[in-house]
């Protein structure tokens, strides 16, 4: 909504003010606050819940309905064998260290990073240098670890910088070595820390009354899709490609979450698993997004130690091999369209490709949609090519074939040598060794079979099974060339997975749309697009006097009938205060009912960002505001349909 | 949708057929099926997810939006102290017994009930009596425990019947006594069972990496509302009454769940907590529901051993004291309206009041909306008056006052006697005993203060503190009559809680709306109302020929623009088969595009329940089907707007 004509305090983002607003208006708050709270758990209040529900509804429209995806709702509680197979029990872990005296627990990589950065900052201070333009995320971390002005050797500075550049590359033991070598201690207590230990991030529980069935809370919804693959494929009449989608909560027992909604222990995800033929990753709607521009930070640029983003169209990126295939490219474009539609600032959005060493254990390629915010660049959507990993491991473990079958237009004809046993004679001759012998012959290569064929032609051959030799003649077996016709192709589909962290997106949306009025920085505004704003229209009667009641009811009812969510504010404060409250809640439009409404059936319409007002007949205004909310017209369009209103009495 | 004009196989409900349909069409399925499944955990497939999403959307409209409730989304993981305070750690449990040899676990009350009922049935068989019209839920249970034809003593029959009638009254030790006395063994193994033990139904886990913070998965969303009460009240500008609402998952580690979606370990709830002044439980919209008829089974009728339902209007029930107050009555009516709107058969719905001994530990009154289904009467919505229980216990535990404040229109003026101490002289005379002495005097009753006043007037008095006597004179203290003016009333609100188990409702809806075509019982139909049907309109091109593609796209787009969710079925099967599939999916309308469509822009419209068809211009049909889906017209109305179509070529 907010455009350049609005008097904003432009680029000065004040996180303290936003946090105060979000807390005051109960967008969200620490869960169990009156019990002292628990790190990484947050409750959403009424505006936060409505915002989340609207984001989910738009996500459902943009992805599930638009693309005819198959929606699922699978369980959170998952028996342990599933995550043993998927690799999460062994590998879904972070390295932690314990304070040797207090027992406090810290994430090892965060500790090393924080301490070394603080020392480098202290070095700059000691040298009397103004620290280089500090990145916002570093600024924040420094609140935690105070730097002291201590000058370092030139050589040490270089070592620290090199360590920081490759931090994601270190194993747990490496991090332990770093702590010892550089005397890194717990900054809160100055105590030494112990050896890094792996900490699995899944919450464990136990299913049923006997305690014999260990389970976990899922850390992602993905496994629930994969286990249902056969049913989904059947529901889709056996056709590939198709996608399943699931919106639901997932859980990660983070070691020490501190970053508000950006790192939490319980969160709502929206995940898509798109199943494709590994030999054909084109997308039938690719042409619709071919010309969409993306800001790409690819693997090669990063590996060479740089970070400049390249602007490319999806078409050019796929054609040039920067993005691996059309389906990945299609989803990156669709992800961008979704994020921008709900209010993310497109100039603060980029797609970063994972480097080899940081990829999850199941992925073969991965792009993150990263959005810039006061903590730096944050991953909000991952878009991974999981290849056939998951379907393959679950097939192998359960024996249930998670495969697709394709009727071949033209059958594939192949010829090969095949051993044909004479069951009678072979059984008679070899008795209980017979099965092992047959198995050994069946397993021979084409080349070996040819040799066998030759030897049998000359009389006999010897086959060795587990150190024991057997003499075969043409009475026992013959080798013949046979023709095979394959009319069905069976394959394990590959999976492209766009995975959204809705809480992160929600928080960053609030940052991108927050500003304060130039005339009064205490007056915050959230310029949320109407599509996701918790309330679309505020109805403001001049007072709670009896005579306004029927009009308020009429306008409420008509808006509800038009499908527009409105709220009435008939509290006893001034109209200006009521609008200010709703600017903070992100309500894009307000209509005021005053004495003129009672007499002439007129109503004023206020736009949140400009605070400008229009006036018209009640029914006209309802039509205009409906079109505004539905995005059929913008405010400039509305100004052509209704008269400007400059009455001072009513508003501000 | 289905009415009496439809050829249904009327009242013969076939659960096996419905279950097969739900499984075949992937409404839901056992979770982790390819790993062998886990009892009480189910995944919803595409039609089940869509059905659930539509039920939730309608619930949100019917309750949250219509009543301006404050929506919340609170965390599932909850630290242990919260449930210690709420009473769940001590009391949210069932009694279980273990098979002494296999260790299998059974719910004690279910075991006693099952075995005694099987013996009574065996007795009837032995006497050559046809068992009395067996209730459907008993029929099902008997599948598990086989009865054998053994005649019982008359006296024993009476004892068994008396035990069954008061089963909910027995404690764990009582159930253990019954097992011993009547030699009740595990029917699967014939082994003895051990002493009943309490099993807490909450799933336990641990928060954070140190293992020092025990937590639980919530068994209800309610505590999340209560802990946020102060923030909610502030958001509502301090006004009472108001309601908070939360749709989300809850978890109960059931001992041995066996009843499909009716008893599961993970489920979606929708809960409302409506906060009222304990001195005023009227509801401002009560008149809107005063004349709604309810089927009530009240406490008194049940206690007297009967079960006949009384039909009453809500108004009469509240006026007559059957329902305790207007707010409870208002919600019972609104619950009924919701259930009927989404497709519950109103003649199979009743409200049953809890008897004293079965009420949850926090409730002072409770009515269950019970819906009849193939398992008997099942609780689907609870509507409890939790009084001030929860807010009080959390206030007491945390010291955070969860109260409301009311500015009194007229201040309450009271007079009472108050002791006034002369701090100087009292301190001098009594030294360190001074504080205890003052406390004792402050605690005196009005009557005692009057006596003190009299004695002081005569010179002196004696006050006894912990066995020690002190002589006070008017130099130390005086007693005076003072006037107090109270302009704010502070109170703990009471809570009325309607709590919906959405999975149970979803399953029962499917039962109530399932039937089979008279001409072919294999052809199942789900007559789901359009409001909740997973897909509203099926678009059926005669074939997948090129020439239909632009028309299919046009109709799809126009329906999407009208906000109607449609799907295209261009699979290679006959149109009849495609419609049959969609009858099973509950799709209420279908439109067919054939060669006439290409030539004349006509389209046929089919109604699911009657299979009758209309024809008209494409745009006309879109308008009509939009009105049908939105409930503006019914099929009879549609028949007046479009021509009947009797073309045989296209359908069935």
CB within 8 Å: B105 and A210: yes
DSSP state of B168: G
Angle subtended by helix axes A108-126 and A136-144, to nearest 10: 100
Q: What is the pairing mode between strands A77-79 and A566-568?
A: unpaired
| Segment B269-278 mean pLDDT | 97
Q: What is the pairing mode between strands A537-541 and A566-568?
A: parallel
Residue ranges in chain A whose pLDDT is less than 70: 1-11, 130-144, 165, 169, 361-362, 648-652
pLDDT for A132 equals: 47
CB within 8 Å: B41 and A237: no
d(CA A636, CA B638): 40
Cβ neighbours of residue B435 under 8 Å, at least 6 residues apart? none
Helix (H, G, I), strand (E, B) or coil at B73: strand
Helix (H, G, I), strand (E, B) or coil at B313: strand
- For every residue of A47-73, DSSP letters joined together read HHHHHHHHHHHHHIIIIIITTT-EEEB
pLDDT for A471 equals: 87
Q: Which residues of B touch A210 (CB under 8 A)?
A: 103, 105
DSSP state of A168: G
Closest-CA residue of chain B to A67: B567
The Cβ-side half-sphere exposure at A414, using a 13 Å CA radius, reads 7
CA distance A416 to chain B (A): 35
Q: Which residues of B touch A41 (CB under 8 A)?
A: 75, 77
The number of helices, as runs of H, and strands, as runs of E, in chain B is 23, 29
pLDDT surpasses 80 at B197: yes
d(CA A300, CA A353): 9
Report yes or no: A273 and A74 within 8 Å, Cβ to Cβ.
no
pTM recorded for the entire structure: 0.87
Cβ neighbours of residue A518 under 8 Å, at least 6 residues apart? A7, A8, A9
d(CA B351, CA A29): 37
CB within 8 Å: B35 and A105: no
Q: Which CATH class is domain B535-644?
A: alpha beta
* Best residue in A73, A92, A212, A217 for a mutation probing chain B (most B CBs within 10 Å): A73
pLDDT for A139 equals: 45
Helix (H, G, I), strand (E, B) or coil at A201: coil
pLDDT for B648 equals: 52
CA distance B68 to chain A (A): 8
Q: Which of B35, B43, B68 sits opposite A81 (nearest CB)?
A: B35
Length in residues, chain A: 652
Q: Which of A31, A50, A560 sits opposite B74 (nearest CB)?
A: A31
Which H/E stretch holds residue A589? strand A589-593
Closest-CA residue of chain A to B68: A567
Closest to B615 (Cα-Cα) out of B598, B627, B601 = B601
Report yes or no: A89 and A116 within 8 Å, Cβ to Cβ.
no
| Segment B401-409 mean pLDDT | 92
| Segment B192-204 mean pLDDT | 93
pLDDT for A11 equals: 55
Q: Which of B32, B235, B249 sits opposite A26 (nearest CB)?
A: B235
| Segment B333-358 mean pLDDT | 93
pLDDT surpasses 50 at B5: no
β-partners of residue B541 are B593
Q: Which of A33, A44, A203 sits opposite B72 (nearest CB)?
A: A44
Handedness of CA B262, B267, B268, B270 (dihedral sign): positive
Report yes or no: B308 and B301 within 8 Å, Cβ to Cβ.
yes
Residue B131 pLDDT class (50, 70, 90 cuts): low
d(CA A381, CA A115): 29
Rg (CA), chain A: 32
d(CA B435, CA B443): 12
Q: How far apart are the first and last CA of chain A?
A: 20
Report yes or no: B245 and B236 within 8 Å, Cβ to Cβ.
no
* Best residue in A74, A396, A563 for a mutation probing chain B (most B CBs within 10 Å): A74
As a whole-number percent, the residues of chain B with pLDDT over 70 amount to 94
Residue B6 pLDDT class (50, 70, 90 cuts): very low
Angle subtended by helix axes B136-144 and B108-126, to nearest 10: 100
Length in residues, chain B: 652
Q: Which residues of B touch A68 (CB under 8 A)?
A: 567
CB within 8 Å: A205 and B209: no
Give the number of other Cβ atoms within 10 Å of residue B451's Cβ: 13
CA distance B117 to chain A (A): 25
pLDDT surpasses 50 at B541: yes
DSSP state of A346: G
Report yes or no: B548 and B598 within 8 Å, Cβ to Cβ.
yes
CB within 8 Å: A39 and B208: yes
Residue B130 pLDDT class (50, 70, 90 cuts): low
As a whole-number percent, the residues of chain B with pLDDT over 90 amount to 65
d(CA B352, CA B349): 10
Closest-CA residue of chain B to A36: B398
d(CA B95, CA A137): 53
Closest-CA residue of chain A to B582: A235
The Cβ-side half-sphere exposure at A136, using a 13 Å CA radius, reads 11
CA distance B235 to chain A (A): 7
CA distance B477 to chain A (A): 41
Q: What is the pairing mode between strands A70-72 and A242-251?
A: parallel
Closest to B351 (Cα-Cα) out of B375, B317, B392 = B317
Counting one residue from A and one from B, how many pairs have CB atoms under 8 Å apart?
A: 202
pLDDT for A136 equals: 44
d(CA A486, CA A416): 13
CB neighbour class for B649 (10 Å; exposed up to 12, middle 13-18, buried from 19): exposed
pLDDT surpasses 70 at B177: yes
CB within 8 Å: B234 and A42: no
d(CA B401, CA A309): 53
Q: Residues of A312-329 as b/e, b for ≥16 C-beta within 10 angstroms?
A: bbbbbbbeeebbbbbbbb
Report yes or no: B538 and B567 within 8 Å, Cβ to Cβ.
yes
d(CA A184, CA A194): 11
Q: Which of B41, B68, B103 sits opposite A77 (nearest CB)?
A: B41
CB neighbour class for A108 (10 Å; exposed up to 12, middle 13-18, buried from 19): buried
pLDDT surpasses 50 at B428: yes
The architecture that CATH gives domain B411-490 is: 2-Layer Sandwich (3.30)
CB within 8 Å: A44 and B73: yes
pLDDT for A130 equals: 61
Q: Which residues of B touch A207 (CB under 8 A)?
A: 38, 203, 253, 265
Handedness of CA A283, A285, A289, A295 (dihedral sign): negative
CB within 8 Å: A206 and B208: no
Q: In chain B, where are the structural domains located? A: 93-196, 411-490, 535-644
Closest to B502 (Cα-Cα) out of B649, B331, B380 = B380
Could you report the predicted ipTM of this complex, rounded to two decimals? 0.86
d(CA A269, CA A273): 13
Closest-CA residue of chain B to A199: B209
* Best residue in A21, A22, A23, A35 for a mutation probing chain B (most B CBs within 10 Å): A35
CA distance B370 to chain A (A): 26
Residue B608 pLDDT class (50, 70, 90 cuts): very high
CA distance A582 to chain B (A): 12
pLDDT for A131 equals: 53
Report yes or no: A199 and A96 within 8 Å, Cβ to Cβ.
yes
Closest to A79 (Cα-Cα) out of A383, A398, A427 = A398
Closest to B614 (Cα-Cα) out of B595, B592, B581, B633 = B592
Q: Where are the alpha helices (DSSP H) in B585-617?
A: 595-600
Mean pLDDT of chain B: 90
Q: Which residues of B touch A74 (CB under 8 A)?
A: 31, 43-44
Q: What is the pairing mode between strands B494-501 and B376-387?
A: antiparallel
pLDDT surpasses 60 at B189: yes
Closest-CA residue of chain B to A76: B266
CB within 8 Å: A75 and B266: yes
Task: Give yes or no for a cis peptide into A241 (omega within 30° of 0).
Answer: yes
Report yes or no: A86 and A361 within 8 Å, Cβ to Cβ.
no
β-partners of residue A94 are A199
Q: Cα-flanking dihedrals φ and ψ of residue A81, to 5°?
A: -55, -30
Report yes or no: A350 and A296 within 8 Å, Cβ to Cβ.
yes
Q: Which residues of A touch B202 (CB under 8 A)?
A: none
CB neighbour class for A183 (10 Å; exposed up to 12, middle 13-18, buried from 19): exposed
CB within 8 Å: B227 and A33: yes
CB within 8 Å: A45 and B235: yes
d(CA B149, CA A178): 78
Q: Which stretch of A9-18, B141-150, B237-246 has the lowest confidence by average pLDDT?
A: B141-150
Q: Which residues of A touch B105 (CB under 8 A)?
A: 208-210
Q: Which of B79, B249, B565 sits opposite A65 (nearest CB)?
A: B565
DSSP state of A61: I
CB within 8 Å: A227 and B82: no
d(CA A352, CA A322): 11
Give the C-alpha distances (Å, rounded to integers) separating A16 from A511, B39, B281.
Answer: 11, 49, 42
pLDDT for B652 equals: 36
Closest-CA residue of chain B to A197: B209
Rg (CA), chain B: 33
| CA B100 and chain centroid, separation | 36
Cβ neighbours of residue A350 under 8 Å, at least 6 residues apart? A295, A296, A297, A309, A369, A370, A372, A377
CATH number of B93-196: 3.30.40.230
CB within 8 Å: A105 and B208: yes
Closest-CA residue of chain B to A247: B49
Q: Which residues of B touch A34 (CB under 8 A)?
A: 227, 230, 394, 398, 400, 402
Closest to A298 (Cα-Cα) out of A289, A309, A287, A290 = A309
Q: Which residues of B touch A73 (CB under 8 A)?
A: 43-44, 48-49, 52, 268
């Amino acid at each position: 909504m907010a455009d350049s004509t609005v008097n904003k305090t432009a680029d000065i983002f004040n996180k303290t003010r936003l946090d105060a607003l979000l807390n005051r208006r109960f967008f969200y708050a620490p869960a169990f606050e009156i019990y002292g709270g628990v790190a990484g758990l947050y409750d959403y209040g009424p505006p936060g819940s409505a915002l989340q529900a609207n984001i989910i509804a738009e996500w459902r429209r943009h992805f599930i309905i638009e693309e005819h995806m198959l929606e699922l709702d699978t369980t959170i509680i998952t028996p342990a064998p599933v995550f043993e197979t998927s690799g999460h029990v062994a590998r879904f872990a972070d390295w932690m260290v314990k304070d040797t005296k207090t027992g406090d627990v810290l994430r090892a990589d965060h500790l090393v990073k924080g301490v070394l950065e603080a020392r480098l900052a202290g070095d700059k201070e000691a040298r009397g240098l103004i620290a280089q333009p500090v990145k916002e995320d570093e600024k924040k971390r420094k609140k935690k670890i105070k730097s002291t002005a201590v000058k370092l050797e030139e050589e040490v500075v270089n070592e620290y910088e090199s360590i920081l550049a490759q931090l994601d590359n270190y194993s747990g033991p490496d991090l332990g070595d770093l702590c010892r070598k550089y005397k890194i201690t717990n900054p809160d207590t100055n105590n030494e820390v112990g050896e890094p230990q792996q900490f699995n991030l899944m919450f464990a529980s136990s299913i049923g009354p006997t305690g014999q069935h260990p389970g976990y809370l899922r850390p992602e919804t993905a496994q629930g899709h994969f286990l249902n693959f056969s049913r989904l494929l059947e529901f889709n009449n056996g056709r590939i490609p198709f996608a399943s989608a699931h919106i639901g909560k997932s859980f990660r027992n983070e070691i020490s979450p501190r970053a508000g909604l950006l790192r939490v222990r319980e969160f709502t995800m929206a995940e898509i698993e798109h199943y494709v033929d590994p030999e054909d990753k084109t997308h039938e709607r690719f042409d619709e997004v071919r010309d969409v521009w993306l800001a790409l930070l690819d693997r090669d640029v990063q590996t060479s130690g740089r970070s400049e983003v390249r602007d490319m169209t999806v078409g050019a990126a796929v054609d040039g091999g920067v993005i691996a295939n059309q389906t990945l490219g299609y989803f990156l474009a669709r992800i961008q369209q979704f994020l921008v539609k709900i209010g993310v600032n497109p100039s603060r959005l980029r797609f970063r490709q994972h480097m080899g060493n940081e990829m999850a254990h199941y992925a073969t390629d991965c792009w993150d949609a990263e959005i810039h915010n006061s903590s730096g660049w944050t991953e909000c959507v991952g878009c991974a090519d999981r290849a056939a990993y998951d379907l393959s491991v679950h097939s192998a473990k359960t024996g249930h074939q998670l495969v697709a079958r394709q009727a071949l237009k033209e059958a594939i004809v192949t010829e090969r040598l095949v051993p044909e046993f004479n069951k009678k004679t072979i059984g008679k001759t070899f008795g209980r060794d017979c099965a092992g012998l047959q198995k050994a012959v069946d397993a021979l290569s084409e080349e070996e079979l040819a040799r066998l064929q030759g030897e049998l032609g000359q009389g006999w051959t010897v086959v060795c099974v587990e150190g024991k030799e057997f003499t075969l003649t043409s009475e026992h077996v013959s080798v013949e060339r046979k023709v095979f016709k394959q009319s069905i192709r069976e394959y394990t589909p590959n999976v492209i997975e766009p995975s959204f962290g809705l809480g992160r997106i929600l928080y960053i949306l609030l940052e991108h749309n927050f500003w304060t009025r130039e005339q009064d920085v205490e007056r915050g505004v959230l310029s949320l697009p109407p599509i996701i704003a918790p309330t679309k229209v505020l109805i403001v009667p001049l007072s709670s006097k009896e005579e306004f009641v029927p009009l308020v009811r009429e306008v409420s009812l008509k808006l509800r009938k038009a499908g527009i969510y409105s709220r009435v504010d008939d509290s006893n404060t001034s109209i200006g205060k009521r609008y200010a409250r709703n600017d903070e809640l992100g309500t894009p439009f307000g209509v005021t009912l005053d004495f003129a409404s009672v007499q002439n059936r007129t109503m004023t319409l206020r736009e949140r960002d400009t605070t400008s007002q229009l006036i018209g007949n009640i029914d006209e205004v309802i039509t205009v505001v409906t079109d505004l909310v539905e995005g059929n017209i913008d405010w400039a369009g509305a100004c052509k349909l209704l008269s400007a209103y400059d009455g001072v009495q009513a508003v501000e």
